[in-house]
Amino acid sequence: MAQDPKSKNITWSDGDVNHAARVQRNGHKAAILWFTGLSGSGKSTLAMAVEKELFLRRCHTYILDGDNVRFGLNRDLGFSPEDRTENIRRIGEVANLMMDSGTICLTAFISPYRVDRQGSREIAKNGSFIEVFTKCSLEECERRDPKGLYKKARAGEIPQFTGISAPYEEPENAEIVVETDKFNVEECAQQVVDYLIEQKILEVNGI
Amino acid sequence: MAQDPKSKNITWSDGDVNHAARVQRNGHKAAILWFTGLSGSGKSTLAMAVEKELFLRRCHTYILDGDNVRFGLNRDLGFSPEDRTENIRRIGEVANLMMDSGTICLTAFISPYRVDRQGSREIAKNGSFIEVFTKCSLEECERRDPKGLYKKARAGEIPQFTGISAPYEEPENAEIVVETDKFNVEECAQQVVDYLIEQKILEVNGI
């Protein structure tokens, strides 16, 4: 049963339920962890590993990825440059709403264009936008090819495939660069969590 | 400081961070409270009153309304029938993501078309879709006219204004009907909270 409102553990007592009240209640700050990188570079895998660690620390988290966005909110969008831009714009807006709600929102999309990622950074308010570049050579991504997409792209079956027939613009100033072809998932996840600790995201003081 | 993962209060230990794990952690179920009604019928006011009560009960809540959606995610949309439909579709998708994250998401939009509200109901998974009709006579809404919109609409300055020059289709099977021209905000909010208690939304058992 959700705690009775009259019970002792209440600090908030009046006024609107705003971002500050949610952060205070949650015991950690809100943030957007924006994973970007080639297909197969480990964005989703790493986001899930980070989320598990944050959940154990009792943080409120949520992952936006192709599974829950491409077939829902953005199912009207394709992979043309314009649609990719609108795809990322909407994801940036939803991530911002999630962050406003007090959540640490992790997004796992290729998001190949620098200007689109910058757009999402500018949308983000009331928290921190943290770009996480999952750096991995195209050769290694293609070797992994977990969904067989590179094979299809090389065969010409997938047009505008990032890294093969569409550009990927590497981040120039990502807050975190994880080299997923040099370190394992646990090591990369720890690197991200260490950054959050260092930036005092996982505590409330100093907002 | 967010709680140390090694501390005692951990029930979740392994596996993905999924909806069930979040609900267990939060101590309440997730839901969408979909407020619908004429402009001035009290949707936002009531949503805020309900959110305050739920926050006191330590629930995770978030309100989607014109302020945080119309100028962000849906700023490319106007008020034509097609745009209204797309507006509500996207809100339904975001509310569903919020609900998936474990939140009780309150939405406060006129959402005048029955078929669009039905669409949002069908999108909603992993929780409850609860339609809340803020029933209020057009005369009373126009008398209140908190934003001066009816006056402008009557003067022909706002085209396609719901209730004046665009239709509002009343819900036929709303889970909750609050008569905001007969009861005050506190009474209406209590009616909504009582429904959530009755439906066991504010507890975890029986998922």
| Cα radius of gyration rounded to whole Å, chain B | 18
Residues in B 146-185 with any Cβ partner in A closer than 8 A? none
- Annotated active-site positions of B, please? 111
- Chain A residue with the nearest C-alpha to that of B3: A57
Q: What is the pLDDT at residue B14?
A: 53
Which residues neighbour B185 within 8 Å (Cβ) at sequence distance 6 or greater? B42, B45, B46, B49
At B31, is the secondary structure helix, strand, or coil?
strand
What letter represents residue B27's amino acid?
A: G
Q: Which domains does chain A have, with CATH numbers?
A: 27-206 (3.40.50.300)
pLDDT in tens, A155-182: 999 999 999 999 999 999 999 999 999 9
Dist. CA A59–CA B188, nearest whole Å: 33
Question: What pLDDT is recorded for position B7?
Answer: 37
Average pLDDT, chain B: 91
Q: Kindly report the backbone phi and psi dihedral angles of residue A108, in degrees, each rounded to the nearest multiple of 5, phi listed first.
A: -130, 85
Q: Which DSSP symbol is given to A73?
A: I
Q: Which of B29, B45, B58, B199 to probe by mutation at the A interface, max A CB count within 10 Å?
A: B58
Q: What is the pLDDT of residue B114?
A: 97
Q: What is the pLDDT of residues B15-47, one digit of tens each?
A: 689 999 999 999 999 999 999 999 999 999 999
B193 touches chain A (CB under 8 A): no
Dihedral of the alpha carbons of B187, B164, B130, B56, in degrees to the nearest 10: -40
Distance separating alpha carbons of residues A177 and B117, to the nearest angstrom: 43
User: How high is the pLDDT of residue A15?
Assistant: 63
Mean pLDDT confidence for A24-43: 97
Q: Is A79 a residue whose pLDDT tops 80?
A: yes
Distance (Å, rounded) from C-alpha A82 to C-alpha B169?
A: 35
Which pLDDT score, from 0 to 100, does residue A80 have? 87
Greatest Cα pair distance, chain B, in angstroms, is 65
DSSP 8-state code for residue A2? P
Nearest residue in chain B measured CA to CA from A57: B5
What ipTM was assigned to the predicted interfaces of this complex? 0.91
Q: What is the overall mean pLDDT for chain A?
A: 91
- Chain A interface test: which of B7, B11, B17 (most A C-beta within 10 Å): B17
Of the partner residues B59, B62, B96, the one whose CB lies closest to the CB of residue A101: B62
Residue B207 has which token pair? 């998922």
**Which A residues, 42 through 81, put their C-beta within 8 Å of a C-beta on chain B?**
48, 51-62, 64, 68-69, 72-73
**How high is the pLDDT of residue A9?**
40
**Percentage of chain A surpassing pLDDT 90?**
84
Q: B29 φ, ψ to 5°?
A: -80, 165
Q: What phi and psi, each to the nearest 5 degrees, are found at residue B141?
A: -60, -40
Q: What is the mean pLDDT of residues A74-85?
A: 91
Q: How confident is the model at residue B127 (pLDDT cuts 50, 70, 90)?
A: confident
Q: Which of A60, A23, A32 is nearest to A129 (CA)?
A: A32
Q: Which of A94, A96, A196, A207 to mutate to test the interface with B (most CBs of B within 10 A)?
A: A94
Cα distance between the two ends of chain A: 31
**Beta bridge partner(s), residue A131:** A34
Region of B147 (left: φ > 0; alpha: ψ -120 to 50; beta: rest) is: alpha
Query: DSSP string covering A12-65, please?
Result: --SS---HHHHHHHHTS--EEEEEE--TTSSHHHHHHHHHHHHHHTT--EEEEE
| B125 confidence band (pLDDT: 50, 70, 90) | confident
pLDDT tens digits, B134-186: 999 999 999 999 999 999 999 999 999 999 999 999 999 999 999 999 999 99
Neighbours of B43 (CB within 10 A): 29
**pLDDT value for B15:** 64
A58 contacts B203? CB cut-off 8 A: no
A63 close to A48: Cβ distance less than 8 angstroms: yes
Catalytic residue among A101, A111, A120, A165: A111
Span B177-206, mean pLDDT? 94
The whole-number pLDDT of residue A14 equals: 53
Task: Using DSSP, state whether B119 is helix, strand or coil.
Answer: helix
Q: pLDDT band at residue A123, thresholds of 50, 70 and 90?
A: very high
Question: Using CA atoms, how far apart are residues A5 and A8, in angstroms rounded to an integer?
Answer: 8
Is A27–B123 a contact, with Cβ atoms under 8 angstroms apart? no
